[in-house]
Amino acid sequence: MSEVAGRAFSAPMRLLVVEDDPMDITLIERMLAREFPEMSMVIVDDEREYARALEEGDFDVVITDLNLPWTDGLSVMRDVHERYPLCPVIMFTGTGSEETAVAAMKAGLDDYVLKKPTHFIRLSAAVRTALARRREHTRLLEIEERYRRLFDRIPVGLYRTTPDGMFVDANPAMVAMLGYDSADDLMETNAADAYLDEESRREWLRRMERDGTVTGFEVRIRRRDGTVIWVEDNARVARDGEGNIIYYEGSLEDITDRKATAEALRRAIETWVSTFDAIVDGVALLDGNGIVIQCNAAASAILDRPFSDIIGRRSHKLLHDDGPDAHAGPDASSAGDRGSRHTQEDDGAVGGDLFERARRSRRREVEIMERKGRWYKVTLDPILDMDRRVTGGVYIIRDITDQHRAEEKVHASLREKEILLKEIHHRVKNNMQVMSSMLNLQAAYVESDSTREMLREGQNRIKSMALIHEMLYQSEDLSLVDMEGYVRTLTNGLVSMYMCERKGLRLRVHIRDIRMGIDTAIPVGLIINELMSNALKHAFPDGRAGEITIRLDRDDGGYVLVVGDDGVGLPEDIDPYSAESMGLVLVNLLVDQLGGRMDVAREGETEFRIAFREG
């Protein structure tokens, strides 16, 4: 083996030439020296030198003839690639065919140059291209190696699976997370088998199919040893040009500790809130400006306000903005309380604000106050920082009413009476329902239309009274009837009975936040029943369209009931105050029972206006 050195050049190349023809060797040197002046050539022309050159591997490119005394060019290519996969091999030969060239290229040959004047001038370009390809290949391998090092060292589990879920790649963090000894062991498993429940896997697949990605998917999975962990999965789908799924790839992070911490925090907050709300005294936490930032359930109950109406308000306003019901009592604080007397006249002044007094004194401030018939001891302790500056406060409102135990007994007694009263209302309603059913049964045997109508009117009156008792026994408040719900239920029943939707009639009910006792609600309901029944029967003849309006409003300490319609109006010969029809007679009697006054407007729309007070 001999070495031929070229002229100095900036990018030296090491060339192995496997050739037994000296003229061809000279031709190779002459063709390449122009472009690679500093190259070095190692020439082998027998089997022993060839074996030694392969062993040393000191070359960047191999140029070989096709036919050699001891081997052939394809064998040389295979020998080189077996030892040095990245080393380019170029065949430089005067023999061979196009088929041979094609076969060699398919087998991995980098280029095929014929020893003909019109072809061998390509040799420099072939070498240059082969070197560039090798450099690019080397660069890609280095990138892949860096990626693989990152893939293997990143502390988050990385994976890739087939569309069926079989693992095809996973980094060590993923292998360790799932409890396997090696990636090969993990490759024999299916990702779906790790899910604790099948529905979670189906949901993962649904999101992947819909969005092409899954982000922040938290799920419980089972490790190889059976232990269960929480993980967060972020993955995407890879598809080919036709949209078919090639694989899924993603990252898996063990969030078991994070979940445990979040659960512990949730339980701690829940415990704090439940403990805070378990305190029987009303407690409110204030910021440095005396604004409530938190309060417990007892404070909400004592102040008779929802939480949303307490948080964000000044504590002083919550206790003293209710007028005569919130006034100061005598100062019952002891010397140990270091309290100060507070009167209602102080409400508008800074001195009357318990928090402001505590801010100035930097000590506990106490006042005794009556609120809505109960007496409370209100204590405010300022919260001080290291420099004794007030940064907040703790409000404690303690019920000091002596009748607490007696009140509990009264509540227990009331609950028993409420149960009994509900049962009474229930039975009264049932009995009235029986009466209504009997009238309905009787009407079936009556041939006279007028008699049947009278029975139906009586049935409606019974139903209006029964409805009161039904609403009372279903209500938490057994003493008051929600008039809006009652009237709407009553009128809807009449609408259904007279089928006024077929006549194009509209019903307008205007009642808001009015509750009445049973002694008032029953006559009011009967009046509405009578007047609306009359309107439905007589005010809209021959399918005439129109509107019936029912309104109940508060007025000067009492109530005003209005029942009107825009129908044909009352006949001129009917006096609503002395009419002999059963309905109007009953209405007048009921108005007298309420101690009210009825006015009837007949011009344009018919309107019955009844003013009364609840007894």
What is the pTM assigned to this prediction? 0.40
pLDDT for residue 164: 93
Query: What confidence category does residue 459 fall into, taking pLDDT thresholds of 50, 70 and 90?
Result: low
Query: What confidence category does residue 372 fall into, taking pLDDT thresholds of 50, 70 and 90?
Result: confident
Q: What is the pLDDT of residues 24-74, one digit of tens each?
A: 898 888 888 888 888 888 999 999 999 999 998 878 999 999 889 999 999
Assigned token pair, 466: 């029964």
How many residues does this entry show for the chain? 615
Q: Check whether residue 298 and residue 373 sit in a common domain.
A: yes
Select the highest-mean-pLDDT range: 218-232, 436-450, 524-538, 596-610. Answer: 218-232
Query: Percent of the chain, pLDDT > 70?
Result: 80
Select the highest-mean-pLDDT range: 262-266, 408-412, 436-440, 538-542. Answer: 262-266
> Across residues 169-181, what is the average pLDDT?
92
C-alpha to C-alpha distance for 371 and 442, rounded to whole angstroms:
58
Residue with token string 């030296």: 12
Residue 158: closest CA among 253, 251, 255:
251
Question: Residue 246 maps to which CATH number?
Answer: 3.30.450.20
Query: Percent of the chain, pLDDT > 90?
Result: 33
pLDDT for residue 323: 42
Q: Check whether residue 382 and residue 423 sit in a common domain.
A: no
Q: Check whether residue 337 and residue 463 sit in a common domain.
A: no
Q: Check whether residue 408 and residue 391 sit in a common domain.
A: no
Mean of all residue pLDDT scores within the chain: 81
Q: What is the pLDDT of residues 324-361, one digit of tens each?
A: 333 333 333 333 333 333 433 333 333 358 888 888 88
Looking from the CA of 594 toward its CB, the CA atoms found within 13 Å total: 28
**485: containing domain:** 479-615
Select the highest-mean-pLDDT range: 157-171, 367-381, 404-418. Answer: 157-171
Contact by Cβ (8 Å): 108, 99: no
In a domain, 115, yes or no: yes
In a domain, 269, yes or no: no
C-alpha to C-alpha distance for 213 and 599, rounded to whole angstroms:
73
> Across residues 540-557, what is the average pLDDT?
88
Residue 381: closest CA among 358, 410, 405:
358
Query: What confidence category does residue 221 fall into, taking pLDDT thresholds of 50, 70 and 90?
Result: very high
**Domain-terminating residue out of 146, 167, 201:** 146
**Domain-terminating residue out of 454, 473, 492:** 473
Question: Residue 537 maps to which CATH number?
Answer: 3.30.565.10
Q: Check whether residue 80 and residue 93 sit in a common domain.
A: yes
Query: What confidence category does residue 133 fall into, taking pLDDT thresholds of 50, 70 and 90?
Result: confident
C-alpha to C-alpha distance for 227 and 189, rounded to whole angstroms:
17
